[in-house]
Homo-oligomer: A and B are copies of this chain.
Amino acid sequence: MYAERISGLKSSAIREILKITSRPGIISFAGGLPAPELFPEKEIAEAAQDIFTKYGTSVLQYSVTEGLLTLREKISAMLDPDASHTGPQNIIITHGSQQGLDLISKLYLEKGRVVFTETPSYLGAIQAFRLFQVDILPIASDEDGIQPEGLLKAIKKQRPALIYLMPNFQNPTGVSLSLERRKQVVDIVKEHDLLLLEDDPYGDLFFSGEKMPSLFTLGRSHNFIYMSSFSKTIAPGLRIAYIAGDEKMISKLAVVKQGTDLQTNTFGQYLVNEYLESGRYNSHKDLLRQTYKQRRDCMLAAIDKYFPASVSRNCPNGGMFLWVRLPEQYMAGHILLKCLEKKVAFVPGQEFYSDGSGENTIRLNFSNATSENIEEGIKRIGEVLKVEGL
């Protein structure tokens, strides 16, 4: 007999769509995949030799639950170059960010508790939280991210066990939380002594200006947990990500991780550590930013050329996704079926609304397609939209 938490659990519609879109000939804007042709393949292959020379059999052996010290030192130096508030004792390596969500859920969530999220919010997070039987309360959000007044109003009604935000180039919309709102959210969280989880897989993929300060850095207190990953900036197949936070919490997470999977794969940790030591990481991130910006621009131009005027889109300053809104009466799920017939795919935005709204929205991924495919794919979607009467 399954546990109660399993009732209502369903496979991510995205994963189901991805099964269809892996068929040859389909142009897919559905996945959240980084561009494989940009992976530092040669450098990782080299690293896979060098780590044996440097560290011998350690790269294949069991290691500590918290993760390799040298890797945690590098991560804490990235987050806080002055080491004024973050050291390796504030970091735990996780098997991808999705595991970070699971471990934090295990530590803080249970039936009857509430998690506040942006609207819409990352589907993987909603799935992780739901396994712990919490209620999810979406807070009103707009093109500048979550609305502080909406957050305050909700807090007055009930105290959340966790506030979950993706402040940089959010999945699914590509929206970022403005600097002014970051400060307001930090103040609210501190004033009410709440717990905020900041998920930041895309923060380094900005297309202009510089990286905005994290809530974790602005807040500098036990109220803020930060998560990021090397999946989008090195390679997702290694599954190396991390959580940063209060030292006491990190120790508790380590005990939870012991019972969950003992430790993150040693080999992948050494590969990422070696790649970081090679000094190539910064120029590689520059390459990703340039390429993804070109693809975003290409997609925006194609949308403006091929989509009916009644369809609106945003213009994210980074990340891997942009967001399209159809007129209210149109259902993106229906449009998707028609698009699949024309061999082009996307994810209906409704998937990311925990309350089931957002039927007329579409998430488009621009990181994992060539310019030619972006032009052709958007053209095909545009044709479907016109046939459907938009």
> Is A236 an interface residue when CB atoms closer than 8 A count as contact?
yes
> Is A99 an interface residue when CB atoms closer than 8 A count as contact?
yes
Are A98 and B259 in contact, CB atoms less than 8 angstroms apart?
yes
A95 to B98, CA, bound (A): 13
Are B45 and A57 in contact, CB atoms less than 8 angstroms apart?
no
Q: Please give, as numbers and ranges, the residues of chain B lying within 8 Å of A211 by CB-CB distance.
A: none
A143-202 with Cβ < 8 A to chain B: 161
> Is A372 an interface residue when CB atoms closer than 8 A count as contact?
no
Partner of A131, one of B1, B260, B263: B260
Are B48 and A261 in contact, CB atoms less than 8 angstroms apart?
no
> Is A256 an interface residue when CB atoms closer than 8 A count as contact?
yes
A244-264 with Cβ < 8 A to chain B: 252, 254-256, 258-264
Given A11-B255, A102-B260: A235 and B49 interface contact (C-beta under 8 Å): no
- Kindly name the residue among A1, A3, A33, A63 whose own CB sees the greatest number of chain B CB atoms within 10 A: A3
Are A57 and B33 in contact, CB atoms less than 8 angstroms apart?
no
- Kindly name the residue among A56, A231, A265 whose own CB sees the greatest number of chain B CB atoms within 10 A: A265
> Is A295 an interface residue when CB atoms closer than 8 A count as contact?
no
- Kindly name the residue among A31, A96, A231 whose own CB sees the greatest number of chain B CB atoms within 10 A: A96
A297-351 with Cβ < 8 A to chain B: none
Q: Count residues on chain A whose CB falls below 8 Å from chain B CBs.
A: 72
CB closest chain-B residue, reference A6: B107
A99 to B258, CA, bound (A): 10
Given A52-B41, A238-B60: A261 and B9 interface contact (C-beta under 8 Å): no
Partner of A267, one of B107, B256, B271: B271
A318 to B131, CA, bound (A): 39
A3 to B5, CA, bound (A): 15
Q: What's the nearest-Cβ distance from chain B to residue A281, in Å?
A: 15
Partner of A37, one of B33, B57, B96, B261: B57
**Could you list 10 A-B pairs, sorted by A, with CB under 8 Å?**
A3-B109, A3-B110, A9-B252, A10-B255, A12-B258, A31-B62, A34-B61, A48-B48, A127-B258, A239-B261
Measuring CB to CB, which residues of chain A are less than 8 angstroms from any residue of chain B?
1-6, 9-12, 15, 31, 33-34, 36-37, 39, 41, 44-45, 48-49, 52, 56-63, 65, 95-96, 98-99, 102, 106-110, 113, 124, 127-128, 130-132, 161, 231, 235-239, 252, 254-256, 258-268, 271
